Amino acid sequence: MNDARPLLEVRNLRVEFPTRRGVLTAIDDVSFDIAPGEVLGVVGESGAGKSLTGAAIIGLLEPPGRVAGGEIRLSGRRIDNLPAEAMRRIRGKEIGAIFQDPLTSLNPLYTVGQQLVETIRTHLPLSPAQARSRAIDLLKSTGIPAAEARIDHYPHQFSGGMRQRVVIALALAVDPKLVVADEPTTALDVSIQAQIISLLKKLCREHGTAVMLVTHDMGVIAETADRVAVMYAGRIAEIGPVSDVIHQPKHPYTVGLMGSIPSIVETRERLAQIDGAMPRLNAIPPGCAFNPRCPRVMPVCRERRPELMPAGTSLAACWLHQPHEAAATAAGTIAAGSATGLSTGHAADEAAGKAAGGAGIHGGAAR
Ligand SMILES: Nc1ncnc2c1ncn2[C@@H]1O[C@H](COP(=O)(O)OP(=O)(O)O)[C@@H](O)[C@H]1O
Ligand code: SF4
Ligand SMILES: [Mg+2]
């Protein structure tokens, strides 16, 4: 497999909802890559745009939501502007989807075997008997006991955890290159969440499947992801190798987010909860969307939107990582506004010199 080209390329993605009061921008200029076989974790508070990003990739944005800008490529092929039928084929064959609620993916009127066999035969040239045999193997690989008998059961005859195993089997049925998993364990009993995640991780490793894993569980991210993207108000705040983002977060929002998850910060200084709430889509402030909540806000943050900038091995959309720009703008602001005595943001100095190297939005070779 050629790891040089990313498997998935999301470039300047913009998702909008037209409303009577104007257009709401829910995803605003989001760019990232996923390498073949790589697991990208996506985190952020509720409403950050994680699910919409996943839905745009798998072509399941619900109208009136629409991709209004940018592009999405899978193995170099543009997939954001395909007709519905072509996208449906890609969705079965090349991209698998796993949602929070297993019942979203399963039809209650058909046995799990019928659903697996149909998916397999739609995409692979197999006889009914061959497809059934593949389906049984898939169910076994997901740890469903007595798969030969269970294959003829209906979704409601399975427990929540077993149902999500069926969904994983369905998502991986024809060996897709990418699986988009949106909070795949949130609806499940806490006691089985870890099992399902490790199953997903194991199967994707074995199959060489890349995963976009949306979750609010940083523990899951730490154990599963190669890289992590932190989303805030429809934008990427920070993206980088998972251990760096967790242990040396570069964006004040990530710092706050990590501080609010005690389990993984045991070895770190405990940080304060982030005050305030994420803005509504119709009230995203100018400049940095995080500025009203940011403990390190500078004048530039209220005026100019920070793009993703190199910050150690990560990228962070934060002016702290481009201190010269920040200082110049701040100085300009002060000059223009006469001598108000505003701080120019000394925090910027601290960040100087941090911007060495950088992983870019591109994944490293996953393994
Ligand atoms: N159908 C819709 N109409 C209007 N706004 C929507 C719709 N669906 C989602 N949104 C808004 O888009 C933003 C991102 O939503 P979502 O991607 O579901 O967030 P997350 O998955 O990170 O919790 C939220 O502000 C949400 O309210
Ligand atoms: S750009 Fe400014 S407001 Fe935004 S996170 Fe960085 S320091 Fe805080
Ligand atoms: Mg969501």
What pLDDT score was predicted for residue 211? 98
Largest distance between two CA atoms of the chain: 81
Q: Is the pLDDT of residue 264 over 70?
A: no
pLDDT band at 269 (very low <50, low <70, confident <90, very high): very low
Q: How far is the CA of 298 from the centre of ligand 2 (A)?
A: 7
- Specify whether the CB–CB gap between 29 and 216 falls below 8 A: no
Pocket-forming residues, ligand 1, beta carbon under 6 Å: 17, 24, 26, 44, 46-52, 62, 65, 281
Alpha carbon of 127 to ligand 1 centroid (Å): 42
The token pair that represents 109 in the structure block: 């009127």
pLDDT tens track for 35-50? 999 999 999 999 999 9
CA nearest ligand 1 atom 18, residue:
51
pLDDT digits (tens, 9 = 90+) for 78-109: 999 999 999 999 998 999 999 999 998 999 99
pLDDT confidence of residue 354? 36
| Reported confidence tier of residue 361, pLDDT bands at 50, 70, 90 | low
| pLDDT over 50 (residue 243) | yes
Closest-CA residue, ligand 2 atom 6, reads 318
**Residue 316 CA: which ligand is closest?**
2
% of the chain exceeding 90 in pLDDT? 77
User: For residue 74, is pLDDT > 80?
Assistant: yes
Whole-number pLDDT of residue 260: 64
pLDDT at 259: 78
Contact criterion met (CB below 8 Å) for 361 and 315? yes
Instruction: Determine the atom of ligand 2 nearest the C-alpha atom of 294.
Output: 8
Residue, of 202 and 347, whose pLDDT is higher:
202
Q: What is the pLDDT of residues 271-300, one digit of tens each?
A: 346 888 999 999 999 999 999 999 999 999
- Among 232, 274, 297, 346, which residue has the most ligand 2 atoms within 8 Å of its CB, making it the best to mutate? 297
For residue 57, what pLDDT band results from cuts at 50, 70 and 90? very high
Q: From CA 18, how far away is CA 323, in angstroms rounded?
A: 37
Please state, in angstroms and rounded to a whole number, the distance separating the CA atoms of residues 276 and 202.
Answer: 38
Q: What is the pLDDT of residue 255?
A: 93
Tokens 């395909």, located at residue: 82
Task: Identify whether the C-beta of residue 72 lies closer than 8 Å to the C-beta of residue 103.
Answer: no
- CATH assignment, 8-225: 3.40.50.300
Q: Give mean pLDDT, residues 352-364.
A: 41
Average pLDDT, the chain: 87
Does residue 352 carry a pLDDT above 50? no
pLDDT recorded at residue 258: 85
H helix or E strand, kind and range, residue 239: strand 235-241
> Which helix (H) or strand (E) covers residue 67, if one does?
strand 66-74
Predicted confidence (pLDDT) per residue in 166-184, tens digit? 999 999 999 999 999 999 9
Average pLDDT of span 245-266:
79
Residue 165's alpha-carbon distances to 151, 161, 191, 223, 320, in angstroms, are 12, 6, 15, 19, 44
Domain boundaries along the sequence of the chain: 8-225, 248-262+284-366
Interval between CA 268 and ligand 2 midpoint (Å): 22
53 alpha carbon – ligand 1 mean position (Å) = 10
Q: Is the pLDDT reported for residue 305 higher than 90?
A: yes
Q: Is the pLDDT confidence value at 339 over 80? A: no
CA of 335 to the centre of ligand 1 (A): 40
The end-to-end CA distance of the chain, in Å, is 12
Range from 145-159, 198-212, 329-343 carrying the lowest mean pLDDT = 329-343
Whether residue 268 is predicted with pLDDT greater than 90 in this model: the reply is: no
